A and B are shown apart, each in its own frame.
Chain A
Amino acid sequence: MTQNYYGWGLPIDISTHGAGIDKLIWIVHIAMVLLFVGWLLFFVYTLIRFRERPNHKAEHHGKHFKLPTYVEILVAAFEVFLLLAFAMPLWNQAKNQMPPDDKALHIRVIAQQFAWNIHYPGKDGIFGKTSPNLMDSSNPVGLDSSDAAAKDDVVTINQLNIPVNTPVIVKLSSKDVIHSFTLPVMRVKQDVIPGQSIPVWFQATQTGDFEIACAQLCGLGHYRMRGFFNVQTQEDFNKWLQEQAPK
């Protein structure tokens, strides 16, 4: 728990898909710094060389530059490269390349002011029926106890455990306002919008204790809408789920 994963750079990445995002961020920033420094050197040189001084006159017909046109074309080409090589494939991967349903662990996350309700389907692998009319503080996801599939469902508050090296599909929904489900180490961030059920998927590559954050202002308690995100070995995860199961 006390292990320090975080410093001044990007947070550590324990996801299978995050490396692409990180690489994109790095490439953009290196290009930005190069462009800016080159530009700044030219800028400072110009300011010094053309400062007002005796016997120096401004030229009405200034020099015509070819270089900027090339730089602009280069920047445009670079942007096209970023779009084609990174941004579009990565987005496609996040949105359209969900792991197959039968291979993945399915979890529902229901956000509310100011907690994350985590809903596991239990042994039968089927989520029990839920209804907004049944939601209260003892039944935060509004589980319908008359439904057979609901009997073995596990509901936790602010505690998301997943097994390592297993694809996970999380269906996000919200009871009240817009939240944003954020797993910084997993490079996952997705707005949770009331009235919609939005899937995200990820797969962890190492175990450890991390956190869930809310990234969208959701009210006065927004800052403390923090959940725990533990990546466990498959055995630990099974054991944990069994402990949580209703007796």
Chain B
Amino acid sequence: MSDHSHKELPFWRKYIFSVDHKVIGIQYAVTGLLFLFFGFCLVMLIRWQLAYPGQELPFIGSWFPETQMIGGIMLPEFYYQLGAMHGTIMVFLGVVPLAVGGFGNYVVPLQIGAPDMAFPKLNMMSYWLYFIGGVLMLASFFVPGGSAQSGWTSYPPLSVIAAGGQTWWLIGMAFLINSSLLGSVNFIVTIIQLRAPGLSFNRLPFYVWAQFVTALLLLLAFPPLMAAAVLQLMDRLAGTSFFIPTGLVVNDAITHFVGGGNPILWQHLFWFLAHPEVYVLILPAMGIVAEIIACNTRKPLYGYKALVYSVCFVGFMSFVVWAHHMFLTNMGTTMSTFFQITTMIISIPSIVILTSLILSLWGGSIRFNTPMLFAIAFLPMFAIGGLTGLPLGLAAADIHLHDTYYVIGHFHYVVAPGTIFALFAGVYHWFPKATGRKMSEFLGKLHFFPSLVLMNCIFTPMLIMGLAGALRRMYDPTQYAHAQAVQPLNVFISISAFCLALAQIPFIINFFYSIFWGKKVDDNPWQATTLEWATPTPPPHGNFLKAPEVYRGPYEYSVPGQKKDFWPQDMKGAN
């Protein structure tokens, strides 16, 4: 194994097919950021069509082939491809790889005092499977008939009778599922086995706890989607009828399927993954926010134990709420009662987590640096996202709100100004560890404040539109009389979205500028206590110069009687 050799590895082993968790983490993070950017570009095309349906896309409209746009006017085929791929890319290729693959890989081994992940080669394989999955997804835009266009949920029978790109989507998903399987096994084993001496589970940074629960969710929730993908591939390629009922008539002609299947089966298998997936999106974000809040309030987290119990409980409960996405599939009273109750129950630990994070601010000495701004902005944004989930979780209110823009507003509040803000916070926070330089505070704030305002300009109107009954996945939102009244909001949202894109420019400049010319910092620029700051900066292969030992909990800030206001976990004796 390369650990023993001190000789320089060739470039391609060191940076491309590397087994070092930090290089893999950065690969994941950069690829994830690129996919986030690409997914955002897709949605801007969608926003143009929604604000100005049937109007020519200015400047770049003529660049698109005739299968996508004619004379700069978007075709419905392309619109639905964009919709399906925006969802898929953001969730499976953007946020999860950045949150789990990127931050998880980079930070978790450092925070637990390990030299690397438990299985470095599997780690490398996990990244490359993800990479292949991403390439397949992108390539599907260029196959005849275009990419998947049945929504990121891919409900059959529509997805079974859809054009060729759906097969690519399913195969791409198979790669992504196996990638996350390898990743999650690696995380679980690493966290259980490789903690530094003294780092017991109740001294674990909350972020590691969050990643641990996330890994368990990925491990157990993804396989049923794999099963579903295999079944749908069989339906598409081998002509089976797992999701096809008897007597299917498409375009006035009986189809070749023998039938006897059940379309709802897919929805059960899909949501059995996709609800835990929501928590895969949000738990690492909560972890990042907790780390940054503790560090920048200079005091311990409020209710560490309650946080840990809540995160475990949320993880467990997320397996038994899936059918609240399916209230309208002819669900009886027993089933709907069960899933409404579990949905209400899962809201309680989420409130506990949020409350603990806010109360952590009380009594602190709050530094408003860029990572902290993003981290505290996460709190109210996630609160809105969580609260708006309440009416959707009540089956009766869901009758009116289901499949409207209310749903879109709700889950985007959780993921966009929620998780993505937390991820930005993480980038600003751990950038100095990875590069030895700080990102610019001025550009950071220029990034933060417009983003915060614009995110709300985008997603609050969606809630209003949803209450008015405007339905999602409409190529032309002006078709329905009941949606015409709120059409001006669509224009407002789209303009805000374009401005939000501009507001990301400072981040991009900041990112590249700071890699080369950012302010140089020492090993622990934020005066933090957790182990990742006890390594040299950037950490060498193997991370720690001397195997660390842990003597105390993760957030010993402002301890009375100490000289400094932080007491690192690995410091023997007083400070």
Contact = CB atoms under 8 A, between A and B. Distances in A.
Given A21-B396, A198-B330, A50 B246 contact: no
Contacts of A180: 328, 402-403
A52 B468 contact: no
Interface of A: 4-11, 20-22, 24-25, 28-29, 32, 35-36, 39-40, 42-43, 46-47, 50-53, 56-63, 65, 68, 71-72, 75-76, 79-80, 82-83, 86-88, 90-92, 94-96, 112-113, 132-133, 135-137, 142, 175-178, 180, 182, 184-185, 187-191, 193-196, 198, 210-211, 213-224, 226
A206 B153 CA distance: 38
B384 A223 contact: no
28 contacts: A6-B469, A6-B485, A21-B396, A24-B391, A32-B390, A39-B358, A51-B368, A58-B364, A62-B300, A62-B362, A62-B364, A72-B348, A80-B344, A83-B344, A87-B396, A132-B248, A175-B248, A175-B249, A176-B157, A180-B328, A180-B402, A189-B328, A191-B328, A215-B404, A217-B80, A220-B149, A222-B80, A226-B480
B481 A91 contact: no
B251 interface: yes
Given A43-B361, A62-B364, 14 more contacts: A7-B468, A8-B468, A36-B380, A42-B358, A50-B363, A50-B364, A90-B396, A94-B399, A95-B333, A132-B254, A176-B249, A177-B250, A223-B473, A224-B479
B240 interface: no
Given A11-B482, A21-B396, A215-B402, A184 B469 contact: yes
A53 B263 CA distance: 61
Interface stretch (B60-68, B195-203, B540-548, B556-564): B556-564
A242 B465 CA distance: 39
A195 B249 CA distance: 11
A29 B390 CA distance: 9
Interface stretch (B334-342, B415-423, B517-525): B334-342
A212 B157 CA distance: 22
A194 B157 contact: yes
B164 interface: no
B573 interface: no
B251 A190 contact: no
Given A32-B390, A191-B328, A57 B396 contact: no
A177 B234 CA distance: 18
Interface of B: 76-77, 80, 149-151, 155-158, 161, 245-252, 254, 259, 261-264, 297-300, 302, 328-330, 332-333, 336-337, 340-341, 344, 347-348, 351-352, 355, 358-368, 376, 379-380, 383-384, 387-388, 390-391, 394-397, 399-404, 464, 467-469, 471, 473-477, 479-482, 484-486, 556-560, 565
Contacts of B352: 72
Contact of A86 (B298, B396, B467, B486): B396
A70 to B, nearest CB: 11
Contacts of B332: 95
Contacts of B351: 72, 75
Given A182-B471, A217-B80, A8 B485 contact: yes
B396 A178 contact: no
B328 A87 contact: no
Nearest to A197: B330
Contact of A211 (B355, B481, B485): B481
A40 to B, nearest CB: 6
Nearest to B262: A195
B359 A189 contact: no
Contact of B400 (A21, A79, A214, A220): A21
B383 A39 contact: yes
A52 B365 contact: yes
Nearest to A87: B394
Contacts of B77: 220
A50 B361 contact: yes
Contacts of A62: 299-300, 302, 359-360, 362-364
Give the residue among A76, A175, A195, A222 with the most B Cβ atoms within 10 A.
Answer: A195
Contacts of A65: 302, 359, 362
B200 to A, nearest CB: 21
Closest 10 CB pairs of A and B: A195-B245, A90-B396, A132-B247, A58-B298, A177-B158, A215-B403, A58-B365, A87-B394, A223-B475, A58-B299
Given A58-B365, A184-B482, A215-B471, A177 B396 contact: no
Contacts of A6: 468-469, 481-482, 484-485
B395 A194 contact: no
B468 A10 contact: yes
A221 B355 CA distance: 45
B333 A47 contact: no
Nearest to A72: B351
Nearest to A188: B399
Q: Which among B247, B359, B368, B469 has the highest number of chain A CB atoms within 10 Å?
A: B469
Contact of B330 (A50, A87, A193, A219): A193
B161 A60 contact: no
A231 to B, nearest CB: 15
Given A47-B366, A56-B365, A91-B333, A68 B400 contact: no
Nearest to B266: A178
Contacts of B400: 10, 21-22, 25, 184, 187, 189
A196 B246 CA distance: 10
Contacts of A75: 347-348, 351
Looking at B360, B380, B395, the one whose CB has the most chain A CB atoms below 10 A away is B395
Give the residue among B252, B355, B388 with the most A Cβ atoms within 10 A: B252
A224 B352 CA distance: 44
B454 to A, nearest CB: 19
Contacts of B391: 24-25, 28-29
Contacts of A68: 355, 359
A35 B560 contact: no
B365 A112 contact: no
A43 B340 contact: no
Contacts of B481: 5-6, 210-211
Given A32-B388, A88-B340, A176-B249, A60 B364 contact: no
A194 B337 CA distance: 25
A180 B404 CA distance: 12
Contacts of A57: 365, 558, 565
A53 B366 CA distance: 9
Contact of A58 (B150, B246, B557): B557
B376 A220 contact: no
Contacts of B248: 132, 175-176, 194
A25 B397 contact: yes
A152 to B, nearest CB: 24
Contacts of B477: 223
A194 to B, nearest CB: 5
Nearest to B356: A68
Nearest to A190: B328
A56 to B, nearest CB: 5
A177 B162 CA distance: 11
